[in-house]
Amino acid sequence: MSALAVKTGALNLGQGFPDSDGPIEVSNAAIEAIRSGVNQYSPGPGHPDLRHAIAEHQERFWNVSFDPDSEVLVTAGATEALAASLLALCELGDEVVVFDPTYDSYAAGISMAGARIRGVLLSPDPETGRFGFDPDELRRAFNPKTRLILVNTPHNPTGKVFTDEELTLIAELCVEHDVLAITDEVYEHLVFDDGTHRLLCTYPGMTERTLTVSSGGKTFSFTGWKIGWVCGPAPIVAAVRTAKQFLTFVNGAPFQPAIATGLRLGDDYFTNFVAEMQAKRELLTGALDGLTTDGHPWDIYSPEGTYFLTVDVHTDGIDFCMALPETAGVVAVPSAVFYQDRRDGASLVRFCFAKHDTMLTDASARLADAFG
């Protein structure tokens, strides 16, 4: 969709990346690292300063402790952390439970590991404006072949933030069926309305069976640096490191100390970041309210977290998005592509609002012209 935006000159609210750079202290730290010679392979588990910064961050924000030497591994973005974890932990024929729709690397990672994906549907509820799942469907997804559950909170593409009750059920099922968990928390600092980001690893029986994955891309608006990490019990992290060793071995040496600088920024940075994104969410939600397709009003799912807003446009989302550059001069992503079965979410469309206000205002005006 980004290629389509470039080709057509449409405003790109498609792919999930911000249109401005992150904090200057962080980019200066990367420049400084390059100038001071941090340019060769970093140690396999990651730059020690970054591993310490990650452990400090987990303690400071989420009150969980990890040993930076044995329980933290730096990866090439969250994507490699997920892929290496799946390769390390799954055997042929194992099943991995996911909440459907998923970020697109999940199905690929699970299949490259020789495992099978087992989706539990997240459905939009126009009454509550939230996405939810049927607890019985989740219970039924657990069976003797289940090896892992992969939980993404806050969730892309739906913007759902998993509740205490939902995570409690997930934890109970993992313990009951002796299943491991991987959590993808790349949007951990984007939870709106003073909501709470909860870590599955803090639930009873989960510390010893959870790998917590995140990265600096979304939090610091440097998605191209691809510095991620995984935290968890030492033996499981060692297994992930073994798989990772033969994927990238290491990456992004000078960006590692820079992300350490980011993780140590003052609280102001993190509170301003989420406040700014929340204001952008309000801007776009307000602008799309009242738009229609063939007289049918759009249902807007204002996210609880992430920087994505989902709209039910009540028509085929793929056709809608393919035509959108021409009809409105805007690019968005059809949510169907994130579902295992594209018929689910067929009329949902995802807009990314991590963009300058001027761009959001222009895009809103164009959408209002086309669908107002």
Ligand X SMILES: Cc1ncc(COP(=O)(O)O)c(C=O)c1O
**How many alpha carbons lie under 13 Å from residue 164 in its C-beta half-sphere?**
2
Q: Which residues pair with 297 in a beta bridge?
A: 292
**Using CA atoms, how far apart are residues 94 and 331, in angstroms rounded to an integer?**
38
Task: By CB under 6 A, tell whether 79 contacts ligand X.
Answer: yes
Task: By CB under 6 A, tell whether 23 contacts ligand X.
Answer: no
Match 């406040």 to its residue by tokens: 275
Residue 90 to residues 136, 247, 278, Cα–Cα distance (Å): 25, 16, 38
Among 23, 109, 217, 305, interactor with ligand X by CB under 6 A: 217
- Give the β-pairing of 95-100 and 116-121: parallel
Show contacts with ligand X in window 85-114 (CB under 6 A). 103
Shortest Å distance, C-beta 282 to ligand X: 21
Shortest Å distance, C-beta 184 to ligand X: 5
List the structure tokens of 359: 């761009």
Rank residues 219 and 287 by Cβ distance to ligand X and give the closer one.
219
Task: By CB under 6 A, tell whether 78 contacts ligand X.
Answer: yes
Among 45, 77, 232, 325, interactor with ligand X by CB under 6 A: 77
**Using CA atoms, how far apart are residues 4 and 196, in angstroms rounded to an integer?**
36
Tell me the DSSP string of 133-156.
Answer: --HHHHHHH--TTEEEEEEESSPT
Nearest Cα to 190, choosing from 126, 317, 281?
Answer: 281
Task: By CB under 6 A, tell whether 232 contacts ligand X.
Answer: no
What lies within 8 Å, CB to CB, of 291 at 6+ separation is: 297, 298, 367, 368, 371, 372
Shortest Å distance, C-beta 280 to ligand X: 17
DSSP 305: B
Tell me the DSSP string of 315-355.
Answer: S-HHHHHHHHHHHHSEE-EEGGGGSSSTTTTTTEEEEE--S
Shortest Å distance, C-beta 93 to ligand X: 25
Contact range with ligand X by CB under 6 A, out of 73-81, 262-270, 271-279, 347-355: 73-81
Shortest Å distance, C-beta 87 to ligand X: 15
Counting residues that bind ligand X (by CB under 6 A) gives 14
Among 215, 278, 302, 335, interactor with ligand X by CB under 6 A: 215
Task: By CB under 6 A, tell whether 228 contacts ligand X.
Answer: yes
Rank residues 12 and 329 by Cβ distance to ligand X and give the closer one.
12
Rank residues 161 and 287 by Cβ distance to ligand X and give the closer one.
161
Task: By CB under 6 A, tell whether 152 contacts ligand X.
Answer: yes
Q: Are 280 and 353 in contact (CB under 8 A)?
A: yes
Task: By CB under 6 A, tell whether 161 contacts ligand X.
Answer: no
Show contacts with ligand X in window 251-310 (CB under 6 A). none
Task: By CB under 6 A, tell whether 18 contacts ligand X.
Answer: no
Contact range with ligand X by CB under 6 A, out of 1-9, 25-33, 220-228, 271-279: 220-228
In the complex, the residues that contact ligand X under the rule CB under 6 A are 16, 77-79, 103, 152, 156, 184, 186, 215, 217, 223, 226, 228
